[in-house]
Structure 1
């Protein structure tokens, strides 16, 4: 059994143990289960049990883990949990969070609870929180950490080593120390490896990396995720418009962003939010799904109306009713392939104005090849079935037309939506399905009406 399978089995066992202990209200067992887990594991466990159990189990989680547990919960599960808790319990749990995590809490929790959290902070804590919240949502600034070590360039490595020994600890994910001048302007980085291997009498300015990468707070989190992935970064300094060091972003936050991006692409394709809570109450879950189901119903009525326009042809030639779903289905699948690749490419920054035209040519060429190949196949099958070469030719022609339109739609829809600020992962599938259904029915039934009646 692989390691991942072992972890999955352990997770299933933990869920069962937790539910059994909750049923019997075995306090010692419940405390033992939570004490053995990290915060992220506790969050995963809470998301794996019914919503109504979470509030009752909160008391058995170690107090020093509660803040991180709230951070690691998806937004819907987090809001649901705090509904069962006293405001004082939530405020106490988040008291020691970093400003970026605290900003996420304030943004996702009810306004009155957010105000309670603000009121509990001291001057510096409130100042850091407001500074983080001032950055646009979805920007790198929302992920900024101020806990980092900055050193001056005009001191020796021995001085840096003495300083670190006095501190006795360095922040997590530190592989280099940020170097600044007297005014706090970012100058570069001193890699930890250089600090440990170079002559201690040398100055920081002599061994630091002056070409070190830095980012601006308004860089998007998606762009930053691409940067971390392509450069294999562990952390990156953040500077303001004047080049002054303001903080850093670390790998642990970027892993969360990458995970959210992956969830968004998967769940968005069916009209669900990446924060969808599997065990949330029935009514709120139903409300979140009703909208996209309604949109889908509207597109289904549109397709039905198009079919109704050719009612006469369908009444006279039954074979058309049998074969027309094939055209729409093949168009939908082909378009979905292109749409998925486009959404993925846009999310990873691989598609831009410079290469989009070449990609469009490629997708159109693929659709023509696929259309011709499958037109021949369905034509032969339909001829063997209905013994009418005219239906076979019309079916093949409609297949080529719809696959071509599907490819163009799969390419163009996300590009247009992106330009207008609409998320293609959430709405692209609905628009694409409508396009391929309507074009598929119109091309097949329209050609049949012209040439068979």
Structure 2
């Protein structure tokens, strides 16, 4: 079955059943399979006919699972594998048809891919990878055994082998790491009719082909020929007269996140990749960019909590190593905040209501700082923060936070007055809330900017540092003001 046939056969299924529903059906079938397995393992004294019946039932459940899984799109199979515990994941993987192995391995997350590859024998791995494009093989190189890579390389042409070596030479988060080599290129001195005849001789166009690249004799990019221009112009017209010279190019060493921003900004479907000499070496397509955006968003969400991507069913020891460092740091920062509060024990013992109000000051300061931090991290991610506008951005966030704090402090002051029946306590509450929200804004702006300035991920651990600042300084400001003006 060709890729085109497979796409057509799965398109109807995708219209009627999403991945979550497919996962639920697989899990239900696995539950039934487990019940039969349990009966088989505990029913050793049954007669031969009962054992045959149980074995037949086991085979029926496996066949039902095999049919259910192999009727899905490879992306949905990958989703299901990522959502199952290791034992059930391995069972489903063994039922996937061999012709889907390559597609599933490319779709599945890195933290699952390695376990799937480890369970495959050498012959199956070679069979799965030998029909991949060079850029797809490069995506799997880090997970494949060296002897499998060597065997696959033997089956490549000289051109494909050179492409594989080139793709492996680029960093994972670069344009070169996501570009593919399958594209249509033509010369500028031919007529459109010649181009049309050339396209008709192809078995199929590369995915997401919205434009043809026009090159000279040494593959230097001269322009692009949109398919719309090819279809609506006179076939006798020259490519040179119809091609567009206003186009975006990427360099293999560009950051893939910057390429994703360019695709979003200019609504691109594909973009040529040229080297430093202007030679066309590949292209980036919208499906590659969507993967980059999704992965960056996932990494950013995890980084803010000080975590790395992991298998949701990973062994406890691995999960502990992933989660404990920043949690221990958070415990230390919480201890410092508690220590700060303990220094004002006399103040709290005299005015007990302060113990209830100080958590509001810390919480609102943290929430306000988190809003600011989210805006700054997003702006840094898309390249909108520069040395020219950094100070302006800081002043703006401080001003906005101050205006919000004035409104919020009035509400908090009314609440403090309502439960304490004391105007001085309400005023201290208002002043402390404004002060801590400004602290949160400063930390929310400066921490991501400073980390980015030194080449670090601005999202990693930022929320932990923000919580430390707004808790410790929030308690200090609130209880310090209370000590000065209320005692």
Under a length normalisation based on structure 1, what TM-score does the superposition of the two structures give? 0.92
Ranges in structure 2 where 5+ consecutive residues have no aligned partner: 1-13, 37-57
Residue range with higher mean Cα deviation, 326-335 or 253-262: 253-262
Structure 2: distance between partners of 1:139 and 1:379: 52
Match of 1:304 among 338, 363, 387: 338
Q: How does 1:3-402 map to 2 (within 5 A)?
A: 7=18, 10-20=21-31, 22-23=33-34, 24=36, 25=58, 26-107=61-142, 109=143, 113-114=145-146, 116-122=148-154, 123-273=158-308, 275-402=309-436
Larger RCO, structures 1/2 (Cα 8 Å, 6+ apart): 1
Query: By how many angstroms is 1:291 displaced?
Result: 1.9
Structure 2: distance between partners of 1:155 and 1:171: 21
Q: Deviations over 1:54-99 (max 9, x none)?
A: 2222222122221121121111122233333334433432332333
Query: By how many angstroms is 1:119 displaced?
Result: 4.4
Structure 2: distance between partners of 1:294 and 1:99: 44
Query: By how many angstroms is 1:368 displaced?
Result: 1.0
Contact 2:81 2:93 in 1 (8 A): no
Query: By how many angstroms is 1:11 displaced?
Result: 3.1
Query: By how many angstroms is 1:384 displaced?
Result: 2.5
Structure 2: distance between partners of 1:5 and 1:377: 50
Query: By how many angstroms is 1:276 displaced?
Result: 3.0
Contact 1:55 1:85 in 2 (8 A): no
Contact 1:179 1:186 in 2 (8 A): yes
Query: By how many angstroms is 1:124 displaced?
Result: 4.3
Q: How does 1:373-452 map to 2 (within 5 A)?
A: 373-452=407-486
Structure 1: distance between partners of 2:77 and 2:249: 34
Cα distance change, pair 416–64 in 1 and its aligned pair in 2 (3 A): same
Structure 2: distance between partners of 1:5 and 1:399: 52
Q: Deviations over 1:179-216 (max 9, x none)?
A: 10011101111111222222222221111112222111
Superposed CA RMSD: 2.3
Count of residue pairs the alignment pairs up: 447
The 3-state SS of whatever aligns with 1:162 is helix
Residue range with higher mean Cα deviation, 98-107 or 201-210: 98-107
Residue range with higher mean Cα deviation, 114-123 or 224-233: 114-123
Contact 1:375 1:399 in 2 (8 A): yes
Cα distance change, pair 17–36 in 1 and its aligned pair in 2 (3 A): farther
Q: Which of these two proteins has the greater Rg computed from alpha carbons?
A: 2
Structure 1: distance between partners of 2:167 and 2:107: 19
The 3-state SS of whatever aligns with 2:460 is helix
Cα distance change, pair 348–32 in 1 and its aligned pair in 2 (3 A): same
Structure 1: distance between partners of 2:216 and 2:452: 41
Structure 2: distance between partners of 1:87 and 1:421: 40
